[in-house]
Amino acid sequence: MATLLVATTNRAKLREIALLLFGTPYDIVTLADWPAIAAPEETGATFDENARAKALYYASKTGQLTVAEDSGLEIDALGGAPGVESARFGGAETTYPEKFRLIYDALRASGAATSSARFVCALALARPGAILFETRGTIEGRIAAEPRGDGGFGYDPIFFYPPFGRTLAEVSARKSAVSHRGQAFRSLRRFIESPAFRGVR
């Protein structure tokens, strides 16, 4: 079976991705098999740039067919922040409850009680030296009045999804059916499982 490296250092992301790729005719491997590779600096201005850079970096370091994604939360009343800085918002060592507090403080300072918001996931598939496929998923919602739920990860407790009437931290398994990451990886799956791609690879 051909091998696909899912290149992420984020274990919660990896858990979601492993389920989304479950049953695919690829042998899924992770960065645990390459413990000596340092994570690249994420210096891109956009999710797409960062996803491409991560996929190319890990593909060239490992020689593997590699998928990487760059994702984050965009809050409209905060000009799209934290955006590509989502993982590092408020400082890399800040806990999520501290990040939530900073966001509620910034919203109050801007005069907004809440704000429309979205999660974005940019995905790139690469082999050494070449991007083979790119896609993007987004999910629209708004910032919850207060954090709720203990499922999911990251900003899920403050992301209220109107069709479910709940935050993404309150919906457990239903999250990937609608999420930015769910959309992007379903699209990747269609691509890598297509006879055309499996034939030329």
Active site residues: 70
Cα separations in angstroms, 18 against 5, 12, 49, 188, 191: 11, 10, 23, 13, 17
> Which residue from 141, 181, 182, 183 is in contact with ligand ITT, where contact means CB under 6 A?
181
Query: Smallest gap, in angstroms, from Cβ of residue 175 to ligand ITT?
Result: 7
Tell whether residue 70 is a contact of ligand ITT (CB under 6 A): yes
Binding mask 113-152 for ligand ITT (x = CB under 6 A): ------x--------------------------------x
Q: Does 48 bind ligand ITT (CB under 6 A)?
A: no
- Give strand ranges (E) for the chain: 3-6, 27-30, 66-75, 116-127, 130-143, 159-161, 166-167
Residues 6+ apart with CB under 8 A from 106: 78, 81
Which CB sits closer to ligand ITT, 72 or 147?
Answer: 72
Return the structure tokens found at 124.
């790139």
Q: How far apart are CA 91 and CA 98, in angstroms?
A: 10
Residues forming the site for ligand ITT (CB under 6 A): 8-10, 13, 39, 42, 54, 70-73, 86-87, 119, 152-156, 179, 181
